[in-house]
Structure 1
Amino acid sequence: MSKKNHKAAEELYRTSCQKHYNKLEVEALIVSYQDLVGGSKMDRSLFREILHRKFNMTDDILMDRVFKAFDKDSDSIISMSEWVEGLSIFLRGTVEEKTDYAFNVYDLNGDGYISREEMFQMLKSCLIKQPTEEDPDEGIKDLVEMALKKMDYDRDNRLSRADFKKAIEEDDLLLEAFGPCLPEEKCACAFEAKHFGHNRMG
């Protein structure tokens, strides 16, 4: 690893990643970033390709929202530090960190709430369409109503961050209630095994 990369790893480790990674792992993520971008930049298209190839994510809306969650400075490029910091939550975040992350992904318009319309849009996008006699939109509307009944504690027909957090505290399976925005365990382990030479268990 170059002196420049070593210094970048030290800084990232010191400022934001030591909770989830050791210094060698931060260095490995920097190398992974450089290998993936190959002298170019990690734009939305490349990032979506990585999400698909490495983490089996396929939903267009959610992949775009994951990109936005990683792209902290909103410049439409994932920088090396955004890559490392984003992966620290994506792969090893606490339930609280992942709850905030998932809420930000699901809040499509960034107004601080997950609206009925946003729930409908995400569920419609991620559910497999089955040929049935019934109108599929009706089934999705029913799912939205069930989600609101279970998660909307203040009964204002939308989910605030507080509603979402309380729902996850009561049932962490609701973390990805509106579609997959985190990697499957096997994909996360495979990514870490490839880049760290071990996975989170080893």
Structure 2
Amino acid sequence: MGNKIPKNHFDQSVLDKLIEDTGLEREVIIAWRKQFLMACPSGKMNRKNFFKFYRSLRVESDEKVKEIANFVFTAFDRDSNGKIDFTEFLCGYAITSLGTMRQKLDYVFALYDKDKNNSIDRKEMIRVISAMYDLLGKPKKDYPPERCVEDVFSLIDVNNDHSLTKDEFIDGVLKNPYLSDIISPFNE
């Protein structure tokens, strides 16, 4: 026992920072933290735990959710340590659900940038678009993911270097808002 801090204790400075970063109310954050700790008592969610948790939020089948859940996990894991703590989870959830379009696109960029080299190439985008097609049950023959990606790149790859920087990506989607329906799994 000793001076051990109880598991349900929430440091006030962390709570204040989360309120500021997410715009959520104190009670909402505390309720989400309780749910997070119920799903993951260690306070850190690995990819497998995240899939179970994410799966519970979706109505699609396991196989349809699995690949997109992997991309979302990578986007939420901001420090790339292979685990999502409560702060990463809540900030990711709040921004992708309630944030501005620019904030959401920052997470969408992270979702596509699998190798975390601060640019998106066509292969990275094709993988995510294919997973979104699968999740939504969209037939790939009507508008193949490869064709979709070519169209996206032709619109927003302003320097034609066959990769998208974060600024190119975000600015390009903001200038062509209909693209967000194509490229973002975080739309309402």
TM-score, normalised with respect to structure 1? 0.72
Which residue of structure 2 aligns with residue 44 of structure 1? Answer: 47
Question: 1:84: how far off?
Answer: 2.3
SS at match of 1:177: helix
Question: 1:116: how far off?
Answer: 1.3
Question: 1:102: how far off?
Answer: 0.5
TM-score, normalised with respect to structure 2? 0.77
Q: Write the distance in 2 (CA, Å) between the matches of 1:174 and 1:31.
A: 36
Q: Output the amino acid matched with 2:118.
A: G
Q: Write the distance in 1 (CA, Å) between the matches of 2:43 and 2:85.
A: 11
| Shift in alpha-carbon separation, 1:122–1:80, aligned structure 2, 3 A | closer
Q: Write the distance in 1 (CA, Å) between the matches of 2:173 and 2:143.
A: 26
Which residue of structure 1 aligns with residue 26 of structure 2? Answer: 23
How many pairs does the alignment contain? 177
Q: Deviation string for 1:88-143 (max 9, x for gaps)?
A: 21322222211111101011221211111122222233324749xxxx49933322
Give unpaired runs (5+ residues) of structure 1.
Answer: 186-202
Q: Write the distance in 1 (CA, Å) between the matches of 2:59 and 2:163.
A: 29
Which residue of structure 2 aligns with residue 150 of structure 1? Answer: 155
Give unpaired runs (5+ residues) of structure 2.
Answer: none
| Shift in alpha-carbon separation, 1:34–1:140, aligned structure 2, 3 A | closer
Q: Output the amino acid matched with 1:140.
A: P
Which residue of structure 2 aligns with residue 199 of structure 1? Answer: none
Q: Which moved more, 1:37-46 or 1:64-73?
A: 37-46
Q: Write the distance in 1 (CA, Å) between the matches of 2:99 and 2:59.
A: 19
Map 1:72-151 → 2, pairs under 5 A: 72-127=78-133, 128=137, 130=139, 136=141, 139-151=144-156
SS at match of 2:183: coil
Question: 1:164: how far off?
Answer: 0.9
Which residue of structure 2 aligns with residue 34 of structure 1? Answer: 37
Q: Write the distance in 1 (CA, Å) between the matches of 2:35 and 2:143.
A: 44
Which residue of structure 2 aligns with residue 167 of structure 1? Answer: 172
Q: Output the amino acid matched with 1:78.
A: I
Question: 1:83: how far off?
Answer: 2.4
Question: 1:54: how far off?
Answer: 0.9
Question: 1:59: how far off?
Answer: 4.2
| Shift in alpha-carbon separation, 1:159–1:56, aligned structure 2, 3 A | farther
Q: RMSD value over aligned CA atoms?
A: 2.9
Which residue of structure 2 aligns with residue 71 of structure 1? Answer: 77
* Paired residues of 2:125 and 2:149 also in contact (CA < 8 A): yes
Q: Write the distance in 2 (CA, Å) between the matches of 1:26 and 1:40.
A: 14
* Paired residues of 1:62 and 1:179 also in contact (CA < 8 A): no
Q: Write the distance in 2 (CA, Å) between the matches of 1:121 and 1:89.
A: 23
Question: 1:162: how far off?
Answer: 1.4
| Shift in alpha-carbon separation, 1:42–1:170, aligned structure 2, 3 A | same
| Shift in alpha-carbon separation, 1:139–1:78, aligned structure 2, 3 A | closer
